[in-house]
């Protein structure tokens, strides 16, 4: 019978404690969530600054629902240009392209850079082993040699670069890693890249808005990657993504990035929302300060316990339980105490590193954090 593997694959996932299920959320904010008529304290949100909660529609520059076509036909509207120009001005780039999601941006940029017609030109892409699936998939889909280096291991990356004979070399990393919460050593990676005539691409999804005094992420470290990806669905609290680079790179993407060429352009109303949210994010210094206070408070409380977090100074604070069964048990205990925390299991994270991915936001109160730490200790 055709597709017999579907049922067996689902059965295997269920047996391994890895079966994913969608959960209907009735109402949510950065710190609260309502599911099945039950209210929980939310420690699973990427809305780090709490900007997704409300929007004044009368402030939007455009309220058109659809762009009606791809950006290269009639879908590129003035509101798209305004958003791109603002991002370029803030982050110091020549040009930008908008995408409906960070996943679409990452995978399509890497596919386009290493298209089949460039195969004869000898290229290699070097990726951190803990990079997001969109980056790994993009690297695998291109024609360049795909090389992985150990997580944040500069010595291993250097050895990989020294061994390659590729003419075109691209190093790819996340600014803040989505599952571990640690930062990439972008300054050191940039030095390595320059010394080996390589380019650097950084996915700043979990850094933009929250890392740096102004919340500009990698750029505030003084490093300007040749390619920077910004997503709007985390600290900006809306939807979409942008790729920022030189005029030549963006023009190349316009010619060869199939996802950009053949996809209906980002909805004008969503572009308008993103522009509004970007302005709010840039002015959110108080929220960034509150977020850092909350992160520090959470870590200080955990330090007084036997709990062992993966080292992280960001809003993402992972607590590893090892097996999927253990982390699901821990998640269930927290749920019974009115706490909602994401249980992350393979293949999203490596085998035997299933974890609670605790995310701290600016909206959490000290009482929220105290409740969480007490529940974690009781369930340990």
CB 254 within 8 A of CB 72: yes
Out of 46, 267, 272, 294, which one is annotated catalytic? 46
Query: What's the rounded Cα separation, in Å, for the pair 323 and 18?
Result: 10
Residue among 180, 182, 203, 226 flagged as catalytic: 203
Residues 6+ apart with CB under 8 A from 175: 183, 184, 186, 202, 203, 204, 205, 206, 207, 208, 211, 217, 218
178 given a catalytic annotation = yes
The residue from 45, 131, 178, 267 that is catalytic is 178
Q: Catalytic annotation on 183?
A: no
CA distance 102 to 355: 23
Catalytic residue check, 367: no
- Of the candidates 80, 183, 234, 364, the residue annotated as catalytic is 234
Does residue 132 carry a catalytic annotation? yes
159 is catalytic: no
The active-site residue out of 111, 206, 280, 364 is 206
Active-site choice (80, 111, 132, 280)? 132
CB 271 within 8 A of CB 98: yes
Burial 162-176 (b: 16+ CB within 10 A, else e): eebebebbbbbbbbb
Q: Are strands 241-245 and 27-28 parallel, antiparallel or unpaired?
A: unpaired
Is 203 annotated as catalytic?
yes
* Cβ–Cβ under 8 Å, residues 263 and 72: no
Q: Give 291: exposed, middle or buried? Use CB within 10 Å, 0-12, 13-18, 19+.
A: buried
> What Cα–Cα distance (Å) separates residue 233 from each residue in 47, 78, 278, 285, 379?
8, 22, 11, 19, 32
Q: Clarify whether 174 is annotated catalytic.
A: yes
Taking the C-alpha atoms of residue 223 and residue 329, their distance in angstroms, rounded to an integer, is 42
Closest CA to 214 of 312, 297, 287, 276: 287
Read off the tokens for 59: 């402030």
Backbone angles phi, psi at 110, to 5 degrees: -70, -35
Task: Out of 47, 84, 128, 174, pick the active-site residue.
Answer: 174
Catalytic residues: 46, 132, 174, 178, 203, 206, 234
């Amino acid at each position: 019978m055709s597709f017999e593997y579907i049922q067996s694959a689902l059965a295997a996932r269920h047996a391994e404690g890895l079966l994913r299920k969608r959960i209907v959320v009735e109402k949510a904010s950065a710190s609260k969530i309502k599911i099945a008529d039950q209210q929980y304290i939310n420690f699973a949100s990427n809305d780090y600054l709490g900007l997704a909660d409300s929007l004044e529609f009368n402030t939007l520059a455009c309220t058109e629902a659809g762009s009606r076509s791809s950006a290269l036909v009639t879908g590129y509207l003035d509101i798209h240009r305004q958003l791109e120009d603002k991002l370029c001005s803030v982050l110091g780039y020549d040009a930008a392209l908008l995408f409906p999601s960070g996943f679409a941006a990452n995978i399509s940029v890497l596919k386009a850079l290493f298209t089949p017609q460039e195969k004869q030109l000898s290229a290699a892409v070097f990726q951190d082993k803990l990079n997001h699936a969109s980056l790994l998939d993009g690297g695998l889909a291109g024609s360049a040699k795909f090389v992985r280096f150990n997580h944040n291991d500069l010595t291993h990356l250097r050895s990989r670069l020294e061994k390659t004979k590729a003419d075109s070399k691209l190093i790819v990393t996340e600014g803040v890693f989505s599952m571990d919460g640690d930062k990439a050593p972008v300054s050191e990676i940039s030095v390595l890249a320059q010394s080996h005539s390589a380019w650097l691409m950084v996915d700043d999804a979990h850094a933009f808005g929250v890392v740096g005094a102004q919340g500009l992420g990698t750029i505030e470290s003084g490093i300007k990657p040749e390619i920077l990806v910004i997503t709007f669905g985390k600290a900006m609290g809306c939807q979409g993504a942008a790729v920022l680079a030189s005029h030549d790179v963006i023009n190349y993407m316009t010619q060869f990035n199939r996802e950009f060429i053949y996809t209906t352009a980002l909805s004008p109303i969503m572009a308008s929302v993103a522009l509004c949210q970007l302005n709010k994010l840039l002015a959110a210094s108080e929220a960034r300060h509150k977020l850092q206070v909350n992160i520090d408070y959470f870590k200080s409380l955990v330090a007084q316990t036997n709990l062992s977090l993966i080292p992280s100074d960001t809003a993402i604070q992972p607590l590893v339980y090892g097996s999927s069964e253990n982390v699901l048990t821990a998640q269930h205990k927290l749920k019974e105490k009115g706490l909602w925390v994401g249980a992350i299991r393979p293949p999203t994270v490596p085998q035997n590193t299933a974890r609670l991915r605790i995310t701290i936001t600016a909206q959490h109160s000290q009482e929220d954090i105290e409740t969480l730490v007490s529940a974690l200790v009781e369930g340990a």
